[in-house]
């Protein structure tokens, strides 16, 4: 869409960048004066998209002004949002691309030009969900062959469709690629600048908010709508301001900070809202910290957690290898439109719906143990807590050591030297990163601590079993590139032992016999951070190293030294613990730059198998009629010309309350006795070859047969959980698909009766596509889950709602009636319609549309039909 098109009523806001007159932008900061200045930064991005995409139809001037008036309109109006781009992973990407291929077919069959069919919005598709593991298996050629069909389809799509880029297998996961490679922060199209924003079908899409990019996850049909040039309908959200103040404790790692913020946001109740961070404490968080917090949105229920672009962001982007000139233009643009945050206290702070204050200095680092991971112990209380455990009765925390034996010392000779073991002595110390791969700072902290300790002359006692088990080769890579890996070895032989689970699951080399004997002799409570080790603590990687140096957990780091240097000087933990500034500097200058350089080289080099994979280049996709993975769907067999009545419809399913998307949508493995299994068997496949519904989302024949195939489906016609229904004209009990197939052969339309909260659960496109292809024309329910209701409308199924206080039971309906309803051409949200039955009963329902865009889409037979007609 041309950002400077003539029909936009905000043309007067277009300006040029001061130091580069060739670059233009909408200066939304000049719209509304002080009203704009108090808007949260995330709302300013929504405003910019509305201003730039205002066409008087899908986005009206009134929509932009409602966003500008956010303070009074929040939670009261719906507004359109046009993201700058779309992110797909292959599970959800394949049905979307299949629909586009089918749309080309339909347009050609109706005499149109299929070359006109392209996504309107830039779309990136990463092949990572169903295919990534195939490239990790030993017999890669065989596995690549198994997926060849789908890969060829993706490659065809990347060749023939404008605005589609495919990230080939083996490159990276969708959310990581989004963060590390696809994010622009500021878009530049034909010298026009505007903020980057994204919707994606991956739940981790929210990570990019840590980079100052507005984005969140949506369902497959919403995503296709955006690809087709439609906006996302969004209730103007409340925005919770999260003010970070104070200085984090030097011992608090990034993981401590992230988990503490996540916990406090969950307790504050931010579900369904935007969260935006501000305050002097924000500058202490690295981009890795911010993206980790933003990625945790599902944990605390927020739509997104937004960190406006600031100096920390720009510094990070510089280290990723971004072009200096582009960075200068980016900074100038963001400052011009007031989307750049100065983290100092300002009189121009935005206003928020509510403010949550989090004092970073209150975040205390913890370890877990000594027996259960849920038992957390603050580092400041570690010594006193361990001593209390010695006193307590044997149980979840207690060891019941007699008071007179709690200070026992057991001398032991090891490798020619004498050592003294006592209660609390550390004998196993394992640095692992299985839970820390997403944020390199904690592993780096362990390495920097090791370097400082070695430079101070400290060493880990040789009898302690030490190990280093990175979660991936990338962790080893950034430990090596930052120069700290050798120090972990020098300090105490923290050597890389592999990339799998080790100490956590008991895979530890035996302790030296002398140490085992000493522990048993003194009945010591020894620790690992052996059947002879009774105390087990989980700690962050740098604390593991610290306790290994100390040689005991029975220590107060605030008052007692870690050790003594060669000159007899006491060395305390604070002397060798790396500061956050040191960590961030090493992280940005060595780790980030190295990682992005490697990723850039990988992208330029490409995947050999992908590069040599042959794929058609025809305008229309050459469908293979034998294929069981990819099939041309029947959505476009009959393009709707005008609003049609529903006449003499039978009830396919009579359902109760809380029917979830799991009940409706195909998911997981394909049961051997299901309709989908029968179809695949008839195609010559064995059960071993069925694969999953997820892998076959590009085949509508499989997915339609899987709709309502959940064994937990409770249909009142059946009276017990089963994926069955009754074909009412004949009285046969059949699989849902088989009954629907009979109805379609008889030319009988279908409806579904349901109770409250129809469509709860995760968003899935086939929860609407499946019922549509079964022949369902309407659902009549007491209430709907909002996102699912939008999907029904998007595919062309009418969401009708019983009047308040009414339902099928109250109205005396058995579900065996036939139902008819007509729709006026002047359909509008909330209109009341009369439903007539063949028994003479008439009752009213509400057409549950939220806005005029939804009624327009429904009147034209759903989004796919609506857009396909525009291509004719």
User: How high does pLDDT run on average in the chain?
Assistant: 88
Q: Which residue has the higher pLDDT, 512 or 196?
A: 196
Say what the pLDDT of residue 5 is: 61
Q: What is the CA radius of gyration of the chain?
A: 31
> Global pTM?
0.83
Alpha helix (H) ranges present in 41-172? 41-52, 61-68, 70-73, 90-109, 140-160
Helix 786-795 vs helix 766-774: angle between axes, to the nearest 10 degrees?
40
Pairing state between β 750-753 and 646-654: parallel
Would residue 150 be called left, alpha or beta, if left means φ above 0 and alpha means ψ between -120 and 50 degrees?
A: alpha
Say what the pLDDT of residue 140 is: 46
Say what the pLDDT of residue 436 is: 46
Distance in angstroms (rounded) separating the CA atoms of residues 169 and 192:
32
Distance in angstroms (rounded) separating the CA atoms of residues 703 and 711:
16
CB atoms within 10 A of CB 55: 13
Distance in angstroms (rounded) separating the CA atoms of residues 213 and 197:
5
Distance in angstroms (rounded) separating the CA atoms of residues 595 and 597:
5
pLDDT for 134 beyond 60: no
The answer to whether 216 touches 86, Cβ cutoff 8 Å, is no
The answer to whether 68 touches 47, Cβ cutoff 8 Å, is yes
Say what the pLDDT of residue 491 is: 95
| 14-17 sheet: strands from edge to edge | 14-17, 20-26, 192-195, 186-189
Mean predicted confidence (pLDDT) in 819-828: 92
Task: Using pLDDT thresholds of 50, 70 and 90, give the confidence band for residue 792.
Answer: very high
DSSP assignment letter at 715: B
Residue 779's Cβ-count burial label (10 Å; 0-12, 13-18, 19+) is buried
Range from 5-14, 59-68, 170-179, 409-418 carrying the lowest mean pLDDT: 170-179
Distances from the Cα of 88 to the Cα of 85, 154, 183, 606, angstroms: 10, 12, 14, 19
CA of residue 27 relative to chain centroid, distance: 32
pLDDT for 501 beyond 80: no
Say what the pLDDT of residue 599 is: 67
Pairing state between β 20-26 and 14-17: antiparallel
Task: Using pLDDT thresholds of 50, 70 and 90, give the confidence band for residue 612.
Answer: confident
604 — phi, psi (to 5°)?
-70, -35
Distance in angstroms (rounded) separating the CA atoms of residues 468 and 541:
10
CA of residue 467 relative to chain centroid, distance: 33
Distances from the Cα of 3 to the Cα of 15, 26, 50, angstroms: 13, 9, 11
Mean predicted confidence (pLDDT) in 299-312: 94
Say what the pLDDT of residue 137 is: 39
Mean predicted confidence (pLDDT) in 680-687: 94
Distances from the Cα of 340 to the Cα of 185, 472, 641, 817, angstroms: 11, 35, 48, 61
Distance in angstroms (rounded) separating the CA atoms of residues 863 and 851:
15
Tokens linked to 332: 């100038």
- Cis check for the bond before 370: say yes or no (omega within 30 of 0): yes
pLDDT tens digits for range 615-647: 898 999 999 999 999 999 988 876 666 688 999
Distance in angstroms (rounded) separating the CA atoms of residues 531 and 529:
15
Distances from the Cα of 109 to the Cα of 106, 252, 625, 871, angstroms: 5, 64, 18, 12
């Amino acid at each position: 869409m041309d950002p400077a098109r003539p029909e936009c009523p905000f043309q007067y806001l277009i300006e040029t960048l001061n130091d580069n007159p060739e670059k233009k932008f909408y200066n939304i900061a000049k719209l509304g004066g002080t009203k704009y200045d108090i808007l949260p930064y995330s709302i300013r991005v929504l405003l910019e998209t509305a201003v730039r995409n205002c066409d008087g139809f899908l986005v009206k001037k009134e929509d932009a002004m409602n966003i500008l008036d956010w303070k009074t309109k929040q939670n009261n109006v719906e507004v359109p949002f046009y993201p700058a781009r779309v992110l797909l992973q292959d599970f959800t990407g394949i049905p979307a691309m299949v629909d586009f291929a089918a749309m080309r077919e339909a347009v050609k069959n109706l005499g149109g030009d299929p070359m006109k069919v392209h996504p309107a919005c830039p779309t990136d598709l990463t092949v990572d969900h169903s295919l990534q593991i195939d490239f990790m298996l030993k017999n890669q050629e065989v596995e690549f062959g198994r997926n060849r069909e789908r890969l060829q389809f993706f490659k065809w799509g990347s060749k023939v469709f404008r605005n589609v880029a495919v990230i080939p297998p083996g490159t990276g996961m969708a959310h990581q690629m989004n963060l590390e490679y696809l994010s622009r922060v500021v878009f530049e199209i034909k010298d026009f600048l505007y903020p980057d924003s994204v919707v994606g079908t991956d739940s981790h899409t929210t990570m990019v908010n840590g980079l100052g990019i507005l984005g969140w996850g949506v369902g497959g049909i919403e995503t296709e709508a955006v690809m087709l040039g439609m906006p996302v309908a969004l209730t103007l959200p409340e925005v919770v301001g999260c003010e970070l103040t104070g200085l984090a404790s030097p011992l608090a790692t990034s993981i401590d900070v992230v988990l503490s913020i996540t916990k406090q946001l969950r307790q504050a109740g931010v579900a369904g809202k935007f969260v935006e961070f501000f305050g002097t404490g924000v500058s202490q968080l690295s981009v890795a910290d911010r993206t980790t917090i933003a990625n945790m949105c599902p944990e605390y229920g927020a739509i997104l957690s937004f960190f406006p672009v600031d100096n920390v962001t720009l510094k990070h982007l510089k280290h990723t290898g971004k072009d200096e000139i582009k960075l200068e233009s980016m900074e100038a643009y963001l400052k011009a439109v007031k989307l750049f945050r100065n983290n100092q206290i300002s009189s121009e702070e935005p206003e928020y719906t509510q403010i949550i204050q989090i004092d970073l200095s209150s975040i205390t680092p913890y370890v877990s143990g000594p027996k259960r991971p849920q038992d957390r112990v603050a580092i400041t209380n570690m010594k006193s807590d361990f001593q209390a455990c010695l006193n307590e009765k044997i149980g979840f925390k207690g060891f019941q050591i007699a008071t007179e034996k709690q200070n026992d010392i057991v001398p032991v000779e090891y490798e020619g030297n004498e050592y003294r073991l006592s209660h609390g002595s550390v004998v196993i110390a394992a640095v692992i990163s299985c839970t820390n791969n997403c944020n390199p700072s904690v592993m780096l902290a362990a390495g920097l601590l090791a370097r400082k300790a070695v430079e101070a002359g400290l060493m880990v006692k040789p009898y302690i079993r030490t190990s280093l088990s990175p979660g991936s080769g990338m962790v080893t890579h950034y430990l090596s590139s930052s120069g700290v890996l050798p120090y972990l070895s020098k300090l105490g032989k923290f050597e890389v032992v592999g990339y799998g689970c080790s100490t956590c699951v008991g895979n530890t080399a035996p302790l030296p016999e002398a140490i085992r004997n000493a522990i048993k002799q003194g009945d010591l409570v020894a620790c690992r951070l052996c059947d002879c080790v009774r105390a087990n603590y989980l700690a962050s990687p740098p604390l593991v190293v610290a306790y290994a140096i100390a040689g005991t957990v029975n220590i107060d780091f605030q008052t007692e030294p870690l050790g003594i240097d060669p000159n007899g000087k006491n060395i305390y933990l604070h002397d060798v613990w790396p500061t956050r500034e040191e960590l961030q500097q090493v992280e940005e200058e060595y780790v980030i730059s190295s990682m992005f350089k490697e990723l850039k080289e990988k992208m330029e080099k490409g995947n050999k198998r992908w590069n040599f994979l042959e794929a058609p280049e025809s305008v229309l996709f050459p469908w293979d009629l034998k294929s069981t993975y990819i099939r041309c769907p029947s959505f476009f067999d009959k393009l709707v010309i005008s609003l049609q009545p529903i006449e003499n419809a039978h009830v396919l399913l009579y359902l109760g309350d809380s029917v979830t998307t799991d009940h409706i949508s195909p998911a997981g493995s394909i049961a051997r006795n299901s309709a989908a299994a029968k179809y695949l068997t008839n195609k010559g496949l064995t059960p071993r070859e069925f694969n999953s519904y997820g892998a076959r989302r590009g085949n509508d024949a499989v997915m339609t047969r899987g709709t309502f195939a959940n064994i937990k489906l409770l249909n009142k016609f059946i009276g017990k959980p089963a994926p069955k229904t009754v074909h009412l004209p004949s009285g046969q009990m059949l699989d849902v698909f088989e009954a629907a197939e009979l109805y379609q052969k008889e030319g009988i339309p279908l409806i579904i009766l349901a109770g409250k909260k129809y469509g709860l659960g995760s968003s899935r496109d086939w929860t609407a596509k499946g019922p549509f292809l079964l022949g369902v024309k309407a659902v009549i329910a007491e209430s709907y889950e909002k996102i699912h209701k939008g999907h029904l409308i998007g595919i062309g199924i009418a969401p009708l709602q019983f009047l308040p206080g009414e339902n099928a039971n109250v109205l005396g309906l058995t579900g065996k009636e036939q139902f008819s309803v007509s729709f006026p051409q002047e359909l509008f949200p909330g209109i009341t319609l009369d439903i007539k039955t063949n028994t003479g009963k008439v009752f009213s329902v509400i057409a549950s549309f939220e806005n005029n865009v939804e009624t327009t889409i429904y009147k034209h037979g759903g989004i796919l039909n609506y857009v396909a007609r525009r291509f004719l």
